[in-house]
């Protein structure tokens, strides 16, 4: 059904950074079903290999490529590998990203008492190096792959880029200032790129996922006995649909954005897929 809805994707080459991650692995599988030649670009090569094998087992076409999205030389080598295997990239999904515990506060609201509790991390205890790492992974990790792979598109071939932003880009969540600021930068950069490449046949958009319950964030959302944490209660109360999303619910938006026939006049947008979270004032 997915492949029938997007016939123009068949035969194209897609590079997905962070391609073996929780959400991006679903992107890779969906694109492969549509006949796309998928490049799973991941820092941990073994994870990329596992996903590649899963795609090959069901008749898809994919390769695993190791690269660090914050290292230009690593990406340039990955680019050469992609050219040798599949030729120029037509679809780039910048999915690599993440946060660091040392760039996260322990409390939602500052209080003087926090400063007096041993081991308690206040805003004033956030590590500069951790902030740098979060910005490097999310923003620089979008810039550098785009420089490497969009060059093929800029040579007159055209193409589409999809960045992965976040709900944090609209309204910052408590406790995670570095990640919130970095994702806001990704959204802003998406708009800048869209304008910059508008006359070159390259479209640039972003998806801003809401809240998804996955293995990666399970400890933050669920207690050991399976009951929701206090933060989960807040999230669901602020989500009009009253539930978490599933990774598969991002696929329709992704395939729409990468399909020239479906969204050829769409560029510079950040699409929330969030169950209404970004629209809800709480009142």
Catalytic residues: 179
What is the Cα–Cα distance from 7 to 259, expressed in whole angstroms? 9
Cβ-contact 7, 82 below 8 angstroms? no
Cβ-contact 37, 14 below 8 angstroms? yes
Angle at 66 between CA 63 and CA 69, to 5 degrees: 120
Task: Assign 3-state DSSP to the chain and report helix, strand, coil percentages, each to 5.
Answer: 50, 15, 35
Q: How many residues does the chain have?
A: 283
What is the Cα–Cα distance from 136 to 86, expressed in whole angstroms? 28
Q: Which residues fall within 8 angstroms of residue 76, CB to CB, at 6 or more apart?
A: 148
What is the Cα–Cα distance from 224 to 228, expressed in whole angstroms? 9
Rg for the chain, CA atoms, rounded: 19
Q: For residue 4, give the nearest of 270, 255, 228 by alpha carbon.
A: 255
Q: For residue 249, give the nearest of 270, 228, 275 by alpha carbon.
A: 275
């Amino acid at each position: 059904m997915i492949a029938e809805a997007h016939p123009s994707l068949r035969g194209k080459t897609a590079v997905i950074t962070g391609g073996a991650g929780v959400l991006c692995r679903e992107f890779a599988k969906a694109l492969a079903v549509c006949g796309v030649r998928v490049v799973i670009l991941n820092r941990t090569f073994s994870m990329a290999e596992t996903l590649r094998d899963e795609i090959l087992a069901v008749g898809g076409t994919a390769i695993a490529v190791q690269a660090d999205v914050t290292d230009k030389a690593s990406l340039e080598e990955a680019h050469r590998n992609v050219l040798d295997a599949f030729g120029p990239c037509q679809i780039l999904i910048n999915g690599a990203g993440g946060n660091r515990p040392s760039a996260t506060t322990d409390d939602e609201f500052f209080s003087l008492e926090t400063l007096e509790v041993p081991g308690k991390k206040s805003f004033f205890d956030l590590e500069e190096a951790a902030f740098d790492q979060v910005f490097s992974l999310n923003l620089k990790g979008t810039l550098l792959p785009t420089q490497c792979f969009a060059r093929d598109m800029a040579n007159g071939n055209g193409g589409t880029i999809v960045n992965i932003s976040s709900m944090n880009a609209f309204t910052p969540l408590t406790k995670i200032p570095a990640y919130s600021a970095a994702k806001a930068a990704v959204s802003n950069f998406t708009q800048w790129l869209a304008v910059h490449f508008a006359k070159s046949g390259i479209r640039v958009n972003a998806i801003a996922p809401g809240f998804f319950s996955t293995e990666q964030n399970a400890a933050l959302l669920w207690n050991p006995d399976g009951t929701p944490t206090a933060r989960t209660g807040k999230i669901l109360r602020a989500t009009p649909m009253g539930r978490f999303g599933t990774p598969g619910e991002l696929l329709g938006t992704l395939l729409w954005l990468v399909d020239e026939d479906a969204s050829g006049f769409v560029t510079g947008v950040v699409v929330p897929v969030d169950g209404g979270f970004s629209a809800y004032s709480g009142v």
